[in-house]
Chain A
Amino acid sequence: DVKVTQSSRYLVKRTGEKVFLECVQDMDHENMFWYRQDPGLGLRLIYFSYDVKMKEKGDIPEGYSVSREKKERFSLILESASTNQTSMYLCASSRGGRGNQPQHFGDGTRLSIL
């Protein structure tokens, strides 16, 4: 089974802090994604990556950056956390190049910015 592991289930940080959310997958997937999920808004794509050291902006990249130094790891960075970044963050991975491949998700990180 595919395993996508997010480093924390719950995280509390303060406004202005630099926050790192880590995601690791064990299935050698090419693609990795970061979403945030808010009530009534569904999942919104922040950033994604098709390969090591590659990154693409999603629909809501402002205030975020990402890093993919190794194929299995995709990090989401909040450069200077703000209260409007309080949300559920979901990481996903998928095999590239085949349309029927689902994205596999981690358990999510509930981030609170105080």
Chain B
Amino acid sequence: AQKITQTQPGMFVQEKEAVTLDCTYDTSDPSYGLFWYKQPSSGEMIFLIYQGSYDQQNATEGRYSLNFQKARKSANLVISASQLGDSAMYFCAMREENRDDKIIFGKGTRLHILP
């Protein structure tokens, strides 16, 4: 069974609008961490934001925020005021405490920002 599910293979959004990229996860480990990465067409993977399972507040980094709903096992990425440069592939990932330092990645969502 998939541990990380990203249900949106692709999205088209108008520039300056807010974007929500969905991510659900599956784990029985009480301690885990969630990551979001951005991959532009050039190929490099860029770390965006992290949320720990025990963090009381949703993580924020500039225009990125993570809508963490623990009971739903949901960790959606929100990008405010989207820009053309946000067009990329976005990956949700999870690290489980009992699985050392390995990270499991979802299959990604390709985001297209329209001018």
Give chain B nearest CB distance to A7 CB in angstroms. Answer: 15
| Size category of the binding interface on chain A | 20 to 34
Residues of B bordering A, CB below 8 Å: 31-33, 35, 37, 42-47, 50, 52, 91, 95, 97, 100-103, 105-108
Apart from A58-B102, A107-B44, A108-B44, 14 more pairs, CB < 8 Å: A42-B105, A42-B106, A45-B102, A50-B101, A90-B45, A94-B101, A99-B52, A99-B97, A102-B50, A105-B37, A105-B45, A105-B46, A106-B44, A108-B43
Residues of A bordering B, CB below 8 Å: 9, 31, 33, 40-43, 45, 48, 50, 58, 88, 90, 92, 94, 96-97, 99-108, 110
**Interchain Cβ contacts under 8 Å between A and B, 25 examples:** A42-B91, A42-B105, A42-B106, A42-B108, A43-B91, A48-B102, A50-B100, A50-B101, A58-B102, A88-B43, A92-B45, A99-B95, A102-B35, A102-B47, A102-B50, A103-B35, A103-B103, A105-B37, A105-B44, A105-B45, A105-B46, A107-B42, A108-B43, A108-B44, A108-B45
